[in-house]
């Protein structure tokens, strides 16, 4: 099998997790089909727009600061570990997403931007919260 950029593109397009790449100015440059499904925006709608498109307003300043710091320092704070955060669907619905981030660098080490892989965990988080609420209510009786 010949491993080519075309094969890498097929993998990105067919993987079930959302894959997003944003350049150093936080502009979306790559948005796969799973990102379309998760966030509700087509690639045509998302590519060329800022990441604020899917970041809830109250998290935007912190995200932008963290993004800029990662680009400047050449490393992410989480070092590839998944993190739970909030995101916004095109409809305005708030999502819980588990994300991993990676700084993408050129061969000379210069930061090109950041890649994120996201998975919707809204149903799981809401179920856990409901279970905790029932447990709390039951223990109060």
Domain layout of the chain by residue ranges: 13-140
pLDDT tens digit sequence for 49-65: 999 999 999 999 999 99
pLDDT higher than threshold 80 for residue 141: no
Task: Give buried/exposed letters for 28-64 (b at 16+ CB in 10 A, else e).
Answer: bbbbbbbbbebbbbeeeebeeeebebbbeeeeeeeee
pLDDT higher than threshold 80 for residue 136: no
CB 97 within 8 A of CB 119: yes
pTM of the predicted model, to two decimals?
A: 0.87
Can you list the alpha helix ranges (DSSP code H) found in 15-141? 33-39, 43-46, 60-73, 122-140
Provide, rounded to the nearest whole percent, the portion of the chain with pLDDT above 70.
93
pLDDT tens digit sequence for 78-121: 888 999 999 999 999 999 999 999 999 999 999 999 999 999 99
**Chain centre distance of CA 28:** 11
Choose the CATH number for 13-140 among 3.30.300.30, 2.60.34.10, 3.40.190.80, 3.30.450.20: 3.30.450.20
Mean pLDDT of 40-45: 99
Would you place residue 134 in the very low, low, confident or very high pLDDT band (cuts 50, 70, 90)? low
Instruction: Quote the CA–CA distance of 113 and 33 in Å, as a whole number.
Output: 20
Would you place residue 131 in the very low, low, confident or very high pLDDT band (cuts 50, 70, 90)? confident
Q: What are phi and psi of 123, to 5 degrees?
A: -60, -45
Instruction: Quote the CA–CA distance of 50 and 53 in Å, as a whole number.
Output: 6
CB 125 within 8 A of CB 138: no
């Amino acid at each position: 099998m010949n491993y080519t950029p075309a094969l890498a593109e097929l993998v990105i397009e067919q993987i079930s997790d959302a894959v997003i790449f944003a350049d150093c100015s936080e502009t979306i440059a790559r948005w796969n089909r799973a990102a379309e499904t998760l966030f509700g925006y087509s690639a045509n709608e998302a590519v060329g727009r800022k990441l604020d498109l899917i970041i809830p307003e109250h998290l935007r300043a912190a995200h932008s600061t963290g993004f800029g710091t990662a680009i400047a320092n050449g490393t992410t704070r989480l070092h590839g570990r998944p993190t739970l955060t909030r995101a916004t669907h095109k409809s305005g619905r708030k999502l819980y997403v588990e994300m991993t981030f990676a700084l993408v660098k050129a061969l000379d080490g210069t930061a090109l931007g950041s890649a994120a892989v996201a998975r919707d965990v809204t149903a799981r988080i809401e179920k856990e919260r409901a279970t905790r609420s029932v447990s709390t209510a039951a223990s109060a009786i």
